[in-house]
């Protein structure tokens, strides 16, 4: 009797410990079960998601994460120079939707991995003006102002979200866990949708001049894509809205409302290529541009450390 009762107790104890183990492993960040490599690859895009969330929130509503979801900032510094853009009600409505989607993306990533606080972001007009000057190889006069009107804001939206999209395409085959791949597929789907909406809105007016400049909207996209290809240093992974027939789908058409490779598959970029672009420096270990202090996370930090 004694023996059997104590073995029952031991049995129960073992079951309890087992249940406790199951329970804790299911409630802590599922990221703790992910391979280190997955964690790093899932944390990296937070850099871009923070950018997009702040840029869309401020552009459409004039306030950012500190007002909308302060818990997601992790205490990182507020962005520099972000403000409400002068948008029509249609574009403002679309950008507000994108803004809230980015809030969801930040939350989804942070549910899987610990992540890091919002990095310092330079979202000032001057920061975008510099990208345009670099893209055209001459200073635009007056300097490009992303917040001035619908067209300028949409052009500025062409600058970064697409880079995030190529990052998800690049990361997916490197991820080991199906949970990581599920998250990245979900992020990629909506980011691609945003890219398609932005490109379609721009495509409608591709042949119009961007006032007060002499260049058309198509030329702006071509120059921005050209700059990204140059900074990324890894061939053509970026295409404007109108391309030479050789770059169009099946080499049959110049209109290029969506970018894709020779099989019309989305281009992928590595974190290293992405850092070269978003720093505007062409070097993954030379921060600047939209990230004055550099990006965060093990991957970006690893490159920055190499420099020191």
Secondary structure (3-state) at 254: coil
Please report how many Cα atoms fall inside a 13 Å half-sphere around the Cα of residue 78, on the Cβ side: 14
Q: What DSSP string describes 10-46? A: HHHHHHHHHHHHHHHHHHS-GGGGS-HHHHHHHHTTH
- Tokens found for residue 1: 């009797």
Q: Is 292 in the site for ligand NAG (CB under 6 A)?
A: yes
Residue 171 is classified by DSSP as: H
Nearer to ligand NAG, 86 or 281 (CB): 86
Cα–Cα dist 116/76, whole Å: 9
Cα gap 150→160, rounded to integer Å: 17
Which C-beta is closer to ligand NAG: that of 149 or that of 172?
149
Judged by CB under 6 A, the number of residues near ligand NAG is 11
Query: Cβ 156 to ligand NAG, closest distance in Å?
Result: 14
Residue with tokens 């599920």: 182
CA distance 170 to 267: 8
The pattern of x and - marking residues 142 through 161 that bind ligand NAG according to CB under 6 A reads: ------xxx-----------
CB nearer to ligand NAG: give 292 or 302. 292
Q: Nearer to ligand NAG by C-beta: 122 or 194?
A: 122
Q: Residue 212 Cβ, how far from ligand NAG at the closest point, in Å?
A: 12
> Smaller CB distance to ligand NAG: residue 127 or 156?
127
Draw the binding track, 58-97, toward ligand NAG (x: CB under 6 A; -: no contact): ----------------------x-----x-----------
Query: Which residues sit at the interface with ligand NAG, rule CB under 6 A?
Result: 80, 86, 122, 124, 126-127, 130, 148-150, 292
């Amino acid at each position: 009797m004694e023996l059997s009762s104590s073995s029952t107790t031991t049995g129960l104890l073992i079951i309890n410990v087992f249940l406790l183990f199951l329970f804790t492993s299911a409630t802590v960040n599922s990221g703790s079960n992910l391979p280190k490599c997955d964690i790093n690859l899932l944390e990296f895009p937070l850099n871009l998601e923070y950018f997009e969330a702040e840029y869309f929130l401020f552009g459409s509503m004039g306030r950012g994460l500190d007002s909308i979801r302060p818990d997601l900032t992790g205490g990182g510094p507020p962005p520099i120079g972000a403000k409400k853009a002068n948008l029509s009600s249609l574009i403002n409505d679309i950008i507000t939707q994108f803004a809230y989607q980015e809030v969801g993306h930040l939350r989804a990533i942070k549910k899987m991995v610990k992540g890091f606080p919002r990095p310092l972001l330079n979202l000032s007009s001057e920061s975008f003006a510099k990208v345009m000057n670099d893209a055209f190889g001459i200073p635009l006069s007056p300097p490009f102002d992303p917040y001035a009107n619908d067209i300028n804001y949409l052009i500025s939206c062409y600058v970064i979200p697409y880079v995030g999209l190529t990052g998800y395409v690049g990361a997916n085959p490197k991820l080991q866990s199906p949970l990581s791949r599920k998250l990245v597929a979900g992020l990629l789907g909506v980011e691609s949708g945003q890219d398609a909406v932005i490109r379609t809105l721009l495509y409608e007016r591709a042949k119009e001049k961007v006032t007060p400049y002499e260049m058309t909207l198509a030329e702006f996209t071509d120059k921005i894509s050209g700059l990204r290809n140059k900074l990324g240093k890894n061939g053509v992974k970026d295409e404007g809205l109108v391309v030479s027939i050789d770059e169009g789908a099946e080499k049959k058409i110049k209109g290029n409302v969506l970018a894709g490779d020779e099989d019309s598959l989305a281009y992928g970029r590595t974190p290293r290529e992405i850092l070269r672009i978003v720093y505007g420096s062409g070097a993954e270990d030379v921060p600047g541009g939209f990230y004055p202090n550099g990006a965060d996370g093990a991957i970006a930090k690893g490159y920055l450390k190499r420099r020191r």
